[in-house]
Amino acid sequence: MDATLAVILIRTIQLALLGLAVTLSITSHLWPSETPVRDGATFDFIVVGVGTAGSVLVNRLTESGRYSVLGIEAGVDPPLESVLPALFLFLPSSRYDWNYTSENDGYTAQTHKNKNLELTSGKMLGGSTSLNHEIYCRGFPHDFDLWVEAVKDQRWSYNNCLPYFKKSEKLEDEAILKSNYKDLHGLHGTVGTTREPHDITNKYLEAFQEIGYETVLDTTESLGYSEILFTIANGIRQSTAISYLFPIRRGRKNLSLLKETLVTKIIFDKNKNARGVSVVTKEGKSLTFRARKEVIVSAGAFNSPKLLMLSGIGPKEELQKFDISVISDLPVGSNLQDHAAIPIVYRMEKRFTLIPIPPSPFKFPLPGIIGYNALNKSQGYPDYQSFGFIFQDPTTLILICTFVFAYNDDICNTLHEAGEGREILFNIPNIAHPKSRGSVKLRSTDPNDPPIINMGFFSDKEDLENMVLYLEDLMRIENTTLFKKVGAELVDLHLESCSQYEYRSKDYWRCYIPKTLVSLFLYTSTCSMGSVLDAELNVLGINRLRVIDASSMPTITSGDPGASVIMLAEKAADILKKKYYGL
């Protein structure tokens, strides 16, 4: 198969799945249905976006039944390919994705189809946890020290967040449950977590051990390499739609829910109190709803800043460009962070089983390992994180190359060729604490227009120099017994635009890194605590308005932030309950 055929194949399967979803509604019994609400209706709380954080909030805020909550989601119910853990390949560029892309900055992502990045982001109940890669990471205590520093509030220290990590987790992995690592985890929470160990990973764990990275059972809070802990349990993706909405699928007293409804503006009174929202429904009707207590924005790291700016909260100069009257002048949309990952791909041993075993739909589709590495051996937190995925079948490799990372056909065909007859180790190291920042800005005042997104990857040159060091550190693996024995080779991606540099020299990597980077889709910090929000997630200079989602994080955690977004929403729900329910 080549890259063009891969595109046709995925499109065909996506259409078939769409047909199934529309004609059979196979999954609709899993989710709460819509509730009729009339124009002008009043609720205690309005939650904008029933995604990752929003699902946690509508559940927790309706637990007592004492307060009324309206959840408004722009997307639809998650389809079968969201519920089955192996099928995330079919969700990007579908009706379940906002289809946002980064701007072509002429520097990064030049080996991608459109010289930009496809910034997949969930548009359905459960939001991005309904299409993400299901990797459970918490970050390290040090990450939360950085939050405390930014917010100047001890409430965000790791120890003070830990009860909420535990509240939201239900560890179901037998080996970890039998180990000392058990105590780090939640055992009775909402989001099920398990590993899927594969024998084939052992040799790679040993190789990393040989270059000084310890093999551990569980990398929650530990440096070193391990098998991956997933938000998968009983063969089902543990999106927040499954973990927080499925249990209340028959409805709850005082919970109202709207789907396929876009919030277009937050409404304020003249004293800067948020009073409600304007929406456009799936039938195209414009309605308004009122909030007696608070409006909570949980629309994700691209759409939360967009909605704030459309509503008059943002950088004054930006808003004035569009004649939006400024209600609070704040650095909304700046401080965008993500982990850019660099592919370091090896051709490993010959494969003897030429017919690949098809992956189970109930599992993560690939064997893989996860590592947290520090160059300074006495430092307790990582400088870089790295995944190593093992491909035993070039077809899966080309599908992921084309559909998850959207590389151009030359790169995908090179990788495919490298995988013919050989096992592939696909490493994606990424900086744990990037210094570069990107931005989200308005394109226009039309709420249907995508925002202008600049990821800003490697705009801080210190990141580039550090990444070169991390790649060199990782590539020491070439000198291990395993790599020597099987005659492992680094796959040369034949970057013509870097051919003036000596292959594998520092200058070569300085050229290679920006061109080949991928986003890991971990966008955070566009309305961050410490600059746009206070420590209780209130928007500064405004009353009765909070932002509670990945945008609220002061800095991205090392590794994937999904678990931290859920923790943050759980903690925020308690802040709200304490204020209004007197708990």
Ligand X SMILES: *[C@@H]1O[C@H](CO)[C@@H](O)[C@H](O)[C@H]1NC(C)=O
- Applying CB under 6 A, does 72 fall inside the site for ligand FAD? yes
The entry of ligand X, ligand FAD, none near residue 262 (CB within 5 to 8 angstroms by kind) is: ligand FAD
SS3 257: strand
Nearer to ligand FAD, 387 or 509 (CB): 387
- Applying CB under 6 A, does 114 fall inside the site for ligand X? no
Choose among 571, 549, 553: nearest CA to 129.
549
The entry of ligand X, ligand FAD, none near residue 53 (CB within 5 to 8 angstroms by kind) is: ligand FAD
Of the candidate residues 34, 76, 93, 410, the single one contacting ligand X (CB under 6 A): 93
Q: Which residue has the tokens 């151009």?
A: 408
- Applying CB under 6 A, does 260 fall inside the site for ligand X? no
Choose among 414, 484, 499: nearest CA to 207.
484
- Applying CB under 6 A, does 128 fall inside the site for ligand FAD? yes
Spatial CB neighbours of 51, under 8 Å, sequence gap ≥ 6: 73, 122, 125, 126, 127, 128, 129, 240, 298, 299, 300, 549
The entry of ligand X, ligand FAD, none near residue 563 (CB within 5 to 8 angstroms by kind) is: ligand FAD
- Applying CB under 6 A, does 476 fall inside the site for ligand X? yes
User: 422 and 347 in contact (C-beta within 8 Å)?
Assistant: yes
Give the C-alpha separation, 481 to 207, whole Å: 7
The continuous run of DSSP H or E covering 302 comes out as helix 300-310
- Applying CB under 6 A, does 425 fall inside the site for ligand FAD? no
**CA 85, 86, 92, 95 torsion: positive or negative?**
negative
SS3 119: strand
Q: Phi, psi (5° rounding) for residue 440? A: -120, 125
The entry of ligand FAD, ligand X, none near residue 419 (CB within 5 to 8 angstroms by kind) is: none
Q: Which residue has the tokens 């520097």?
A: 107
- Applying CB under 6 A, does 568 fall inside the site for ligand FAD? no
Say how many residues touch ligand X, by CB under 6 A.
21
The entry of ligand FAD, ligand X, none near residue 254 (CB within 5 to 8 angstroms by kind) is: ligand X
Nearer to ligand X, 61 or 567 (CB): 61
- Applying CB under 6 A, does 254 fall inside the site for ligand X? yes
Facing residues of 545 across strands?
295
Read off the amino acid at residue 133. Answer: H
Of the candidate residues 94, 219, 303, 466, the single one contacting ligand FAD (CB under 6 A): 303
User: 448 and 99 in contact (C-beta within 8 Å)?
Assistant: no
- Applying CB under 6 A, does 71 fall inside the site for ligand FAD? no
The continuous run of DSSP H or E covering 116 comes out as none
Work out how close the CB of 370 gets to ligand FAD at its nearest, in angstroms, rounded to a whole number. 10
DSSP code, position 451: P
Round the CA-based radius of gyration of the chain to a whole number and report it. Answer: 23
Of the candidate residues 134, 227, 393, 463, the single one contacting ligand FAD (CB under 6 A): 134
The entry of ligand FAD, ligand X, none near residue 97 (CB within 5 to 8 angstroms by kind) is: ligand X
Work out how close the CB of 76 gets to ligand FAD at its nearest, in angstroms, rounded to a whole number. 9
Pick out residues in 51-70 that bind ligand X (CB under 6 A): 65-68
Q: Which stretch binds ligand FAD (CB under 6 A): 62-70, 390-398, 532-540, 561-569?
A: 561-569
Q: Helix H segments across 44-115?
A: 52-61, 80-83
Of the candidate residues 336, 550, 556, 576, the single one contacting ligand FAD (CB under 6 A): 550
Residue nearest to ligand FAD (CB): 51
- Applying CB under 6 A, does 190 fall inside the site for ligand FAD? no
The residue ranges of DSSP E strands in 354-460, in sequence order, are 368-373, 384-391, 422-431, 439-441, 452-454
- Applying CB under 6 A, does 120 fall inside the site for ligand FAD? yes
- Applying CB under 6 A, does 121 fall inside the site for ligand FAD? yes
Q: Which stretch binds ligand FAD (CB under 6 A): 19-27, 47-55, 191-199, 505-513?
A: 47-55
The residue ranges of DSSP E strands in 318-449, in sequence order, are 328-329, 340-341, 344-350, 368-373, 384-391, 422-431, 439-441
Residues that bind ligand FAD (CB under 6 A): 48-49, 51-54, 72-75, 120-123, 127-129, 131-135, 137, 262-263, 298-301, 303, 307, 521-522, 549-550, 560-563, 565
Residues that bind ligand X (CB under 6 A): 44, 65-68, 93-95, 97-99, 123, 253-254, 376, 378-379, 475-476, 478-479
